[in-house]
Amino acid sequence: MAVNDLIKLTVVTPYRELVNVKCNLVELNTEDGINGVMYGHTPVIMAIIPGLLRYRVADTYYNAFLSVGYATVHKDEVTVICNAAEWPNEIDVSRAKASYERNRLKFNDSKSSKTVKSHAKHAMRRAKARIHVAEQYGDKPAE
């Protein structure tokens, strides 16, 4: 693969830049499922949902958690802007599990308003995604 076949990946949050690398493949979690992006991809904007970001540099895969946000894709560049992004070993699993349980109780409470239930549903989705990424990829080294 020629160096020109690499795609630049940048992941930013309001608090930091998590990734700034040239890679062969980017996989993003969207409402439509996992979308793969390689050099030469058709320009598009994708809505990101909480889940796994996976990208490949040469023959090595790197994994991270992304919260809600969006990605702009061009033929040679992907920029992800999201609320939160973490390496698996940065995720506090016990905190995520506590968040999931707290929000599950809110969601199942018959006295909770529609708004509270909606917020709880999204918080549970984020917590489940964090737990999954940490448990599946937390023992692997970050970039």
Output the six-digit token pair for 114: 């529609």
pLDDT recorded at residue 38 = 95
Give me the torsion for CA of 13, 67, 49, 112, rounded to 10°: -130
- CA-nearest of 27, 24, 28 to 58 is 24
pLDDT recorded at residue 124 = 96
CA angle 32, 27, 68 (to 5 degrees): 60
- Average pLDDT along the chain: 93
Q: pLDDT tens digits, residue range 114-129?
A: 999 999 999 999 999 9
The proportion of the chain whose per-residue pLDDT surpasses 70, expressed as a percent, equals 94
Q: pLDDT tens digits, residue range 58-86?
A: 999 999 999 999 999 999 999 999 999 99
Categorize the per-residue pLDDT at 2 as very low, low, confident or very high, splitting at 50, 70 and 90.
low
Residue 1 pLDDT > 60: no
Q: pLDDT tens digits, residue range 26-37?
A: 999 999 999 999
Give me the torsion for CA of 31, 34, 36, 41, rounded to 10°: -20
Strand segments, DSSP code E, in the chain are 7-12, 17-23, 25-30, 33-37, 44-48, 51-57, 60-66, 69-74, 77-82, 85-86
